Amino acid sequence: MIDFNSRSALSDRLNFLIDEPINATAAESQRRGYLGASIVGHHCERHVQFHLMAARGLVERKQPSARIMRIFDRGNVYEEKARQWLKDAGFLFGIPPRGREFSDFGGQFRGHVDGVLTGWKRPDILCPVELPVLWENKCLGAKGWKKLSTDKLKSYSSTYHAQVQVYMYYTGLERCLFTAVNADTMELHHEIVPFDLMEAELSRSRATGVISATEAVAMVPRCTNDPTFYICRFCDFRGECWK
């Protein structure tokens, strides 16, 4: 029984009521049952495997807080806004020949692209991007956005870079327009990421390796022998990995 006594702040009371259903859906969202393309390029192969195991209910994953779930929601909201901004600028969105979703290895490896730009409706202005082009959008805090806009995607995030390579592989597209919204300043970064067949195939091979190991009840290697390694410090599976 929650004690909504008279000294509780209004924010605390309302936030409890708001967080409760968000927490309930957070648990559901962890059990999707397959490996997603959005994680396959993570620095640590074992982390990728833990994602698959958590999706199948084989390990517990630290549940994201309601605040983190609202950050995910923010990403969805700004994806829709960015899509509309691009449409208003003159782009037309279409469906790739093989669809927006892919599924491989018996449905155990899947992904869903944000969109594909297929047309340009302003004959008075030359289209600034070669079409068709895959479109992927992220919403980042100011520090990450600044680093991305300086370093470019491949240096900024192996995970995001692998994700768009896998999407290009399955959609048959040869370039990706990667858009990042700065959630603090609302600046926009755009860059073209070319298709890299070798990287896409490495990611698919990693996916199949992780799926096979999980079926064989074996663990793939960790990325380090040091549990204090900086990536491990932020890993949701740290306790399970090093127990």
- Residues making contact with ligand SF4 (CB under 6 A): 44, 46-47, 50, 222-224, 231-232, 235, 237-238, 241
* Residue 156 Cβ vs ligand SF4, minimum distance, rounded to whole Å: 18
Nearer to ligand SF4, 186 or 216 (CB): 216
Inter-residue contact 184 to 141 (CB < 8 Å): yes
Continuous segment of H or E residues that includes residue 110: strand 109-112
| Residues paired with 104 in a beta bridge | 109
Looking at the Cβ atoms of 106 and 234, the one nearer to ligand SF4 is 234
| Nearest-angstrom CA–CA distance, 41 and 166 | 9
Q: At 182, list the tokens.
A: 């700065």
- Going from the C-alpha of 131 to that of each of 154, 175, 176, the distances in angstroms are 21, 9, 10
Instruction: List phi, psi (to 5°) of 217.
Output: 55, 45
Question: Of 185, 109, 105, 170, which Cα lies nearest the Cα of 134?
Answer: 170
Query: Shortest gap between Cβ of 39 and ligand SF4 (angstroms)?
Result: 12
In whole angstroms, the minimum distance from the beta carbon of 223 to ligand SF4 comes to 5
CA 113 from centre of chain:
10
Q: CB of 140: closest distance to ligand SF4 in angstroms?
A: 21
Nearest-CA neighbor of 177 among 122, 147, 138? 138
Nearer to ligand SF4 by Cβ, of 202 and 223: the residue is: 223
| C-beta of 6 vs 225, nearer to ligand SF4 | 225
- CB of 26 vs ligand SF4, minimal distance in Å: 20
Query: Based on CB atoms, which residue is closest to ligand SF4, 47 or 189?
Result: 47
Is 131 or 231 the residue whose CB approaches ligand SF4 more closely?
Answer: 231
Q: Which is nearer to ligand SF4, 37 or 48 (CB)?
A: 48
- Which letter, b or e, does each residue of 191-205 get, where b requires 16 or more Cβ atoms within 10 Å of its Cβ? eebebbeebbebbbe
**Closest CB 75 distance from ligand SF4, rounded Å:** 22
Q: What is the C-alpha to C-alpha distance for residues 10 and 16, in angstroms, rounded to an integer?
A: 10
State in angstroms the smallest separation of the CB of 43 from ligand SF4.
Answer: 7
**Encoded amino acid at 145, one letter:** W
